[in-house]
């Protein structure tokens, strides 16, 4: 009897850690929480959470730059119109603004 108990203790010690990690990740996945990778970092359903944050920041920067480009295109169109229109028409529009 003591021989079987001596074998059971090391077997239980080796099994408890991975089994607990597996159950923890299962519960996290079931309820939509980010999972813990083998290296200890949290990983969401879409990938590494730091990568997701970087993508969000790049999207925000892209939207900001898109707005700036749109405003610059509008200003450039006005400057092109001013450069190509006859001088008297431009002076009339300026006088109308005063």
Average pLDDT over residues 58-80: 94
Residue 1 has pLDDT above 60, yes or no: no
List, as one string, the DSSP characters of 41-67. Answer: -EEETTEEHHHHHHHHHHHHHHHHHHH
Would you say the pTM of this structure is higher than 0.85? no
Residue 47 has pLDDT above 60, yes or no: no
DSSP 8-state assignment for residue 33: P
Q: How many CA atoms lie within 13 A of 71 on its CB side?
A: 6
């Amino acid at each position: 009897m003591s021989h079987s108990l001596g074998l059971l203790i090391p077997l239980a010690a080796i099994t408890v850690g991975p089994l607990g990690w597996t159950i923890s990740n299962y519960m996290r996945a079931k309820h939509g929480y980010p999972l813990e990778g083998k290296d200890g970092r949290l990983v969401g359903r879409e990938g590494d959470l730091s990568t997701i944050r970087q993508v969000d920041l790049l999207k925000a920067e892209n939207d900001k730059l898109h707005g700036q480009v749109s405003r610059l295109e509008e200003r450039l169109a006005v400057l092109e119109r001013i450069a190509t229109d006859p001088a008297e028409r431009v002076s009339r529009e300026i006088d109308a603004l005063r």
